[in-house]
Amino acid sequence: MSQSTLNNTPRFPYFNRELSWLAFNRRVLEQAESPDYPLLERMKFLAFVSSNLDEFFEIRVAGLLQQVKSGVIERGPDGLGPKEQLRRIQSICKRLIADQYDCWDEQIVPELKKSDVFFCGYDELTRNEKKWVETYFEEQIFPVLTPLAIDPAHPFPQLTNKALYILASIDDPETRIIERLMAIIPIPRVLPRIIKVGAARRGKPDVYIFLSDIVQRFIKRLFPGYHVTSAVPFRITRNSDLYFDEEEVENLLRKIEEELMNMHKGAAVRLEIAKGADPELMQEFLEAIKLQPENVYTIDGPLNFFRLMSAYELIERPDLKFSHHTPLTPKGLDAPERIFDNIAAKDILLHHPYESFQPFIDFLQQAARDPQVFAIKQTLYRTSGDSPIIKALMEASRQGKQVTVLVEIKARFDEANNIQWARQLEDVGVHVVYGLVGLKTHCKTCMVVRREGNTLRRYVHLGTGNYNPKTARLYTDLSFFTSREDVTGEVAGLFNTLTGFSLTPSFKKLLVAPFTLHSNMQKHIRTETRNAKAGKRARIIVQTNSLVDQETIDNLYQASQAGVKIDLIVRGICNLVPNIKGVSENIRVRSILGRYLEHSRIFYFENSSGHQPHIFAGSSDWMPRNFYRRIEAVFPIEDADHRARVLNLLETYLKDTKNARILRANGAYQKPPLKKGSAPFSAQEAFYLDAETKRTAQANELEEESQSLPIQVITPI
C-alpha cells in the first residue's frame, strides 16, 4: 500500500495533473499579455498557447474520453474521476481560449497597428489590396481547392487531424425549400495560412490576411449556380497517441509508420469552428464525426493561432522582437581542435543558451575527423532538420569509425522525423538501435572512444536537454563533458545495456532510470528528513519541468513536516500542494516563464551530515514515466567550481521576482512580493548580463594580448 493511502483515503492533498497543466498554460498566455515583451514575441507566446492545447487534447483529453467510453473509472490521487476532470477541463479551456482571443483582438492587433503592422479582414483592406487579394485567390488558391459535396452519392470524407477545412451550407435558389446541403472544402497544407498582401498601403508594406478569410470571401466561386448560406473554417483534433505492443511487433519501425498514418484517423476529441455555422447543419456534422456538443469550441476569430509562428518569420521587424543574443563561447573552447585536450584537463560545465552549444558540435565533428577516434555512441531523442549532429555522425561512419546511435523513434510528435534520421544513418553504415522494449530512451548521452598512446580513453557528454542546436538557443539546459573513468565507465555500461542485454546493470556515480534513479532520489529526500529531525541543517532545492510522482511528493511532505526547507522550481505540472499547515508549510513552489524555456533538471540536497551537498543534473523529471518507463541518466556535479556555480544558478532563480510566480495552496499562481523600493529581478536577464560581461572581458583580454605581442619588422629585400 502506498504511504499516502489508508483505507483508500488520501492522506495528503494533491493537485490534479490535468488542471495543473492548464494552470501552466494560463501562465503562457500571461506572457502574451505582458507589456514587458516585444509585440512579436507576445504573438509567439499566443501561438505557444494553441500548440500546447493541441497536444493536451490529442493525448490527455483523448485518454480521459477513452476512459469514459470504456467504463473504466480510474481516479488519480486527487480523487477526481475522468468525467469530472473533463467537465472542469472544458470549462477552463473555454475561458482560456476566450481570453486568448481577447488578447489578440484587444491588445496585440491594435498595438501592431500602431507599429504599422496590419492584420486585416477582407473588409478592412483598401481597394488596391482587395484587387491584389482577388488576383491571389484566382491564381494561387482556387486552382488547388477541391470542394467535397456530402450527399448519398458522396459519403462523408475522412478529415485529417488538425487540418484546416471550410464547412459550407449550400442552397439551390431555384427550389422553394432551403436544402442546407453540406459541403466541405479542404485547405491544402501547401498553402500559407497567413499571407502578406502585395499592395502598398500608404507606403507601409506590412499588411497581412489569414488564408481562411480569403477562401470564405470567394467561396461562392466554388459552387456556381448555388447560394452559399454559411461558410465557416474548422479543424478537428483527434486522438494522437500511438497504440501497439512492442513485444508483439517484429518490425518496430514499420509499425510506428503504420500508426502515424492511423493517427490522422483517430477518434475526434475536439472541434474548433468559427462562429456562424448553420445550427441544423452543425448537428448533422457532429453526428458524422461522432463528437458531443460539449467538445465543440466556437471561435470568434482566426483558427489555430499556432500559425502565427509563420507570421513571426514573415514580419521583418527586429524592433518588435527580442534583441539578438550570441551565446558565449567560454575561453579555451573556441579552438575546436583542442576540445579533447580541454576535457582531459578538466571537466567542463556549460549553461545554455547563455553559453554556446557549439562546443558539443565541435566535440562530435572533431571525433568524426580525428584518426585516433575509434568509436562514437550517441542517443538521439529529438534533433533539428539539417542537423550538424546527424551530418557529423554520418561523416564519422564514412571515415570508418564504429558509430552506434540510439534513435528514439517513439519520441512523441517527432516519430516521423526520427525515422527519417534513422534511415539516413543506416544508409551510411551507422548501427542504429531503437532501445529497450517498453522503455523510451530519453537520456542525453554521447561517448567518444579515442586511442591515446597505448591506451583507449573515453570522452563523454551528458546533458539535461536534447541534442538540438536550434532549441539549444531557446531552452535553458546544462551540458557536462568529462573523461573521468568513474563516470565514462558507467556511461559505457549504460550504452551496453541499451544495445545488448543486462538485467542488473551496476551504477554508482550515475542515477539511471528505471534501475536506480527513483530509489536514490527517495533516499536523498529521506536523508534530509532524518537530518532535520536530528537538528541538523536540511535543505532541498529542485528544478524540474514536472512533479507528478506520488511517492516522491509524499516523501517531500514528510520532509516538510520534519522541518526540511524545500524550494521547488517547477515550470509546468505540479501535483504537490504547498503551504498547508502541518503538511507542506516548509515547501515553496515557483514556476518561471520568460524569454527562454526553463528546461534544466537540477537536484540539490544539503547532506549536512556528509562532507558536502549532493548535487545532480540530468534528463529526468519527477514523473512516473521518467522513473519507470524511460531510460534516464542523472549525473553528479562534483567539481568544486561547478558545484558553486550550480548552487548559484538555483539561488538566482529563487531571487526572481519578474518572471517567477508562486504556487498557492488553492492552485493559483501569484507574483512574488517585492521589497519596497526594489525593482523586479529576472534570473534570465542576470544570466544574460553575466555572459555579456564575460564576453567583454574575454575580448579585452584578447586585445591586450595582441597589443603585447612584439612587432615584427620585415626588412625589404
Average pLDDT over residues 26-41: 96
Q: Is the pLDDT of residue 38 over 90?
A: yes
Q: Which has more confidence, 260 or 434?
A: 434
Write down the pLDDT at residue 177. 74
Q: Do residue 689 and residue 566 come from a single domain?
A: yes
pLDDT over threshold 50, residue 9: no
User: What's the mean pLDDT in 642-650?
Assistant: 97
Does residue 6 surpass a pLDDT of 50?
A: no
- By C-alpha distance, which of 603, 608, 610, 613 is closest to 649? 603
Is 396 buried (19+), middle (13-18) or exposed (0-12) by CB count in 10 A?
Answer: buried
Q: Is the pLDDT of residue 247 over 60?
A: no
Better-scored residue on pLDDT, 56 or 265:
56
- The least confident of 179-188, 244-253, 703-712 is 244-253
| pLDDT value at 2 more than 50 | no
Residue 708 in domain: no
Closest of 274, 273, 269, 263 to residue 292, by C-alpha: 269
Q: How confident is the model at residue 10 (pLDDT cuts 50, 70, 90)?
A: very low
Residue 624 is predicted with a pLDDT of 95
φ and ψ at residue 372, rounded to 5 degrees: -80, -15
Q: Is the peptide bond before 514 cis (omega within 30 degrees of 0)?
A: yes
Host H or E run for residue 392: helix 388-398
Instruction: Name the CA dihedral angle for 684, 689, 690, 692, rounded to a multiple of 10 degrees.
Output: 130
For residue 418, pLDDT beyond 90: no
Same domain, yes or no: 282 and 422: no
User: Which run of H or E residues covers position 686?
Assistant: helix 683-708
Rounded Cα distance, 679 and 658, in Å: 9
Per-residue pLDDT at 270 exceeds 70: yes
Above pLDDT 90, what percent of the chain? 74
Residues designated as active site:
442
Between CA 8 and CA 270 the distance in angstroms is: 34
Mean pLDDT of 200-222: 88
DSSP string, 447-470: EEEEEETTEEEEEEEEESS-S-TT
185: cell is 472544402
> Residue 258: what pLDDT?
52
277 and 362 both lie in a single domain: no
CB atoms within 10 A of CB 573: 24
Q: Residue 75 falls within a domain, yes or no?
A: yes
Cα–Cα distance for residue pair 178/263, rounded to 1 Å:
37
The interaxial angle of helices 82-102 and 17-33, nearest 10 deg, is 0
From 459, 482, 503, give the residue that closes a domain. 503
Q: How far is CA 214 from the centre of its chain?
A: 32
According to the model, what pLDDT value does residue 244 have? 41
Q: Which of 320, 353, 380 is the last residue of a domain?
A: 320
- Of 503, 528, 545, the residue at which a domain comes to its end is 503
Residue-range definition of the domain harbouring residue 461? 336-503
Distance of CA 663 to the CA centre of its chain: 21
| Res 565: pLDDT | 98
148 class by beta-carbon count within 10 Å (0-12 exposed, 13-18 middle, 19+ buried): middle
pLDDT-derived band at 195, boundaries 50, 70, 90: very high
Q: What is the structure's pLDDT at 75?
A: 80
Backbone angles phi, psi at 295, to 5 degrees: -100, 15
Q: Are 190 and 249 within one domain? A: yes
Average pLDDT over residues 222-235: 93
The verdict on residue 528 lying in a domain is yes
Domain shared by 555 and 476, yes or no: no
Do residues 575 and 624 share a domain?
yes
Confidence of residue 644 (pLDDT cuts 50, 70, 90): very high
| 3 confidence band (pLDDT: 50, 70, 90) | very low
- CA distances (Å), origin 550, targets 4, 522, 555, 704: 8, 11, 9, 57
Q: Which helix (H) or strand (E) element contains residue 274? A: strand 268-274
Q: For helices 358-369 and 388-398, what crossing angle results, to 10°?
A: 10
* Residue 458 and residue 537 in one domain: no
Task: Check whether residue 467 and residue 571 sit in a common domain.
Answer: no
Between 74 and 111, name the one with better pLDDT.
111
Query: Which neighbouring-strand residues pair with 455?
Result: 452
Q: What is the CATH number of the domain that holds 246?
A: 3.30.1840.10
The answer to whether residue 716 scores a pLDDT higher than 90 is: no
Rounded mean pLDDT, 480-492: 97
- pTM, two decimals, is 0.90
pLDDT tens figures, 93-144: 999 999 999 999 999 999 999 999 999 999 999 999 999 999 999 999 999 9
Task: Round to the nearest angstrom and report the end-to-end CA distance of the chain.
Answer: 92
Looking at residue 332, what is its pLDDT? 87
Q: How far apart are CA 583 and CA 557, in angstroms?
A: 6
The backbone torsions φ and ψ at residue 287, rounded to the nearest 5 degrees and listed phi first, read -65, -35
615 is written with which cell numbers? 548535487
Q: Mark whether 551 and 472 lie in a shared domain.
A: no
Q: What is the mean pLDDT of residues 366-370?
A: 97
Q: How confident is the model at residue 414 (pLDDT cuts 50, 70, 90)?
A: very low
The string of pLDDT tens digits covering residues 589-638 is 999 999 999 999 999 999 988 889 999 999 999 999 999 999 999 999 99
Helix segments in 534-662, DSSP class H: 550-562, 624-628, 640-654
Interior angle at CA 39, CA 33 and CA 44, nearest 5: 75
Residue 1 reports pLDDT greater than 50:
no
494 and 524 both lie in a single domain: no
